[in-house]
Chain A
Amino acid sequence: MSNTVVRKTLVSLAVAGAAFAAQADVVIGVAGPHTGAYAAFGDQLWRGAEKAAMDINAKGGINGEMIKLIKADDACEPKQAVAVANRLVDSDEAVAVVGHFCSSSSIPASTIYEEAGVLMVTPGSTNPTLTDRGLPNVFRVCGRDDQQGDVAASYIVDELKAKRVAVLHDKDTYGKGLADATKAAMNAYGVKEVLYEGLTRGEKDFNALVTKIRSVDADVVYFGGLHSEAGPLVRQMREQGLTAKFISGDGIVSDEFVSVAGSPKYVDGVLMTFGADPTTYAAGKAVVEEFRASGVEPEGYVMYSYTAMQVVAAALGATDMDPVKAADWLHENSIDTVMGSKKFDDKGDLTVSDYVMYEWDKNGKYSMLYN
């Protein structure tokens, strides 16, 4: 196929020309739901990555090459994720990608990155399947749902001593994966759930489900899903006089959870698992303060995204911009980031899971629970 040769030559000529003409840029994609129902998370990803890139560029870039970010929108739809991944790889010639956010987008996109030899570091996709498929180029700087589910389950069984647990999910890759992980871990600890049901993402009326939880007399409700559904759900539970403990995962980590629930009094006592507060690391103190000074609260995945960008930059810097070698390098070395030192295992997961329990208080703020 001579045309491929021609194309390759043209590309290399173009690259050489660009390098000759001016400062060569290293292109990194930031892929996530920048539009659509989950655009709030895409926003967090972008803010973190943008700041990280600015900071790295201010210190002279990666080995002198400036980072150029490309905003890639997948709207959390697999179809768009595939299209945008191909675009990043092909037209934008990105060497690495920070993203995607939704696991259902990350999984199909990761195959494309693998084929093109592009490094992928996701700040927020926690579904185990993503790394279990053994792709060498896929990393995540967040935990896995099974780790998260285990923390939640052991808390439910050991701390709350709950006997009647209702497990709910939002029928989505992330939410259901998390709920299943928690259910499995809980069953392993000898507690069987009394109710296991899904609700529909995008709806706001869960009264029927709440009444059903009441009918099974649950004393703990575990929900795998995002704050857009968790807020109305917890509110409707309280409004129907259901006082069961409400526990969820890292999908509700957003100040919007309080405003969606209608009042801080409804979220009072809600528990959730989340990585040890990303803003409390000593290494990231300066960055957190800079964020706050610019009027941006580094909530949710902002710091994760920052970290992902640091990981990408470190790996590319150590391997002379070769993303395939960078992936191998990441499997071997640990990286200092604003969230402490990170080390990856063979699959691309973090070696240390740092999930802890958080509790929301009556002022609508969350804080770590130290047991």
Chain B
Amino acid sequence: MDIVLQQLVNGLTLGSVYGLIAIGYTMVYGIIGMINFAHGDVYMVSSYLTAIAIALLTFFGFESFPIIIFGTLIFTIIVTGAYGWVIERVAYRPLRNSSRLSILISAIGMSLILQNYVQISQGARQQGIPTLLSGAIRFEVGDGFVQITYMKLFILFAAFLGMGILTYIIQKTKLGRMCRATQQDRKMASILGINTDRIISSVFVIGAAMAALAGVLVTLDYGAFDFYVGFIIGIKAFTAAVLGGIGSLPGAMLGGLILGLSEALFAGLISSDYKDVFSFSLLVVILIFRPSGLLGKPEVEKV
């Protein structure tokens, strides 16, 4: 019993991280219909930024946890957002009217560039950050226990807060309305006076900011990263986005949670060797029955 509960906690934290990164995929896909393969590496860059921010803040004598975490978040989100903007401007905008596959290849190239640029400037070492918040809550369950670190609680809280703020922005603000309009019909939106180029840029910035949030949280929790971490987590997050229905925000979050939970439960109860096989098979099965993902709108084919 305690083991199953613990696995649920594991899955939930992992899933919320997948969800945060999946948002970046799903928003970009929704608005310009491209798979942004460099997104996982944007997340990787934000891990480095987190460590750099923490190192800088400690150097300037800030010690208390709230100040460090707040400063790190702001710094990382701003700089990662700038990355999102620059990447879109340099590698994707010139290809705006080309086939979607050309942008895909450009994105793969961008992903290589980011990885190697970070490797060259920061070295190939494994990096780590010091533990900032240690300690855990322990619940006694039967004769076992469930242990949740404060950091994990913080991750869950921050992830859901981040998703909440994003939902608010998309649903209630003017920027959000413009984003949705552009997503539905880019040409019509531009006729109505929306600067669609700027909206697309801001979608990239928002996506990068969510990846930055995930980067800060994961880095604080696991404490370890290298220039290669973006790849696996990027693929997983992309899977989550498709699972939930690509283009749908709640779908990305739901997909992330389902993927995280199923991985944790499968690894914990059956075999961790085959957990990725299981996640991909789950995806295939879900897509066979719901070809547009769980919350995605079915594609209507018009003649």
A interface vs B, CB < 8 Å?
Answer: 35-40, 42-43, 171, 197-200, 202-205, 207-209, 211-212, 214-215, 227-228, 231-232, 235-236, 239-241, 254, 256, 258-263, 266
* Chain B residue nearest in CB terms to A207: B10
Is B147's CB under 8 angstroms from A240's CB?
yes
Is A197's CB under 8 angstroms from B273's CB?
yes
Is B224's CB under 8 angstroms from A204's CB?
yes
Let me know if B193 is at the binding interface, CB within 8 A. Answer: no
**What residues on B are CB-neighbors of A205 within 8 Å?**
10, 14, 222
Q: Which of B28-36, B67-75, B126-134, B168-176 contacts A (4 or more CB under 8 A)?
A: B126-134
Q: A-B pairs with CB below 8 Å: how many?
A: 129
**What residues on A are CB-neighbors of B223 within 8 Å?**
231-232, 235, 260-263
9 closest Cβ pairs, A-B complex: A39-B124, A262-B223, A259-B128, A207-B10, A208-B267, A208-B264, A260-B224, A215-B3, A256-B126
A199 CA to B263 CA in the complex, in Å? Answer: 12
Is B125's CB under 8 angstroms from A256's CB?
yes
Q: Which of B88-96, B178-186, B226-234, B293-301 contacts A (4 or more CB under 8 A)?
A: B226-234
From B126, B138, B271, give the contact of A241 (CB < 8 A). Answer: B138
Q: A39-B119, A214-B3, A215-B3 are in contact. Are A209 and B147 (CB under 8 A)?
A: no
Contact residues, B239-273 vs A (CB, 8 A): 263-265, 267-269, 271-273
A58 CA to B123 CA in the complex, in Å? Answer: 30
28 contacts between A and B (CB under 8 A): A36-B124, A40-B123, A40-B124, A42-B124, A43-B124, A198-B273, A203-B232, A207-B13, A207-B14, A207-B264, A208-B264, A208-B265, A211-B10, A211-B268, A212-B269, A214-B6, A231-B128, A232-B223, A235-B223, A239-B147, A256-B125, A258-B128, A259-B127, A260-B224, A261-B128, A261-B224, A262-B129, A263-B130
B interface vs A, CB < 8 Å?
Answer: 3, 6-7, 10-11, 13-14, 116, 119, 123-131, 134, 136, 138, 145, 147, 149, 218, 222-229, 231-233, 263-265, 267-269, 271-273, 275-276
Is B136's CB under 8 angstroms from A241's CB?
yes
From A36, A43, A235, A259, give the contact of B126 (CB < 8 A). Answer: A259
Q: A39-B124, A228-B126 are in contact. Are A212 and B272 (CB under 8 A)?
A: yes
From A197, A200, A208, give the contact of B232 (CB < 8 A). Answer: A200
A36 CA to B124 CA in the complex, in Å? Answer: 7
Where chain A touches its partner, the secondary structure class is helix
Is B272's CB under 8 angstroms from A40's CB?
no
* Chain B residue nearest in CB terms to A195: B272
Q: A208-B263, A260-B128 are in contact. Are A228 and B272 (CB under 8 A)?
A: no
A175 CA to B132 CA in the complex, in Å? Answer: 31
Report the minimum CB–CB distance from B216 to chain A (whole Å).
14
Report the minimum CB–CB distance from A342 to chain B (whole Å).
29
From A40, A198, A262, give the contact of B125 (CB < 8 A). Answer: A40
**What residues on A are CB-neighbors of B130 within 8 Å?**
262-263
Is A211's CB under 8 angstroms from B226's CB?
no
* Chain B residue nearest in CB terms to A171: B273
Is A262's CB under 8 angstroms from B224's CB?
yes
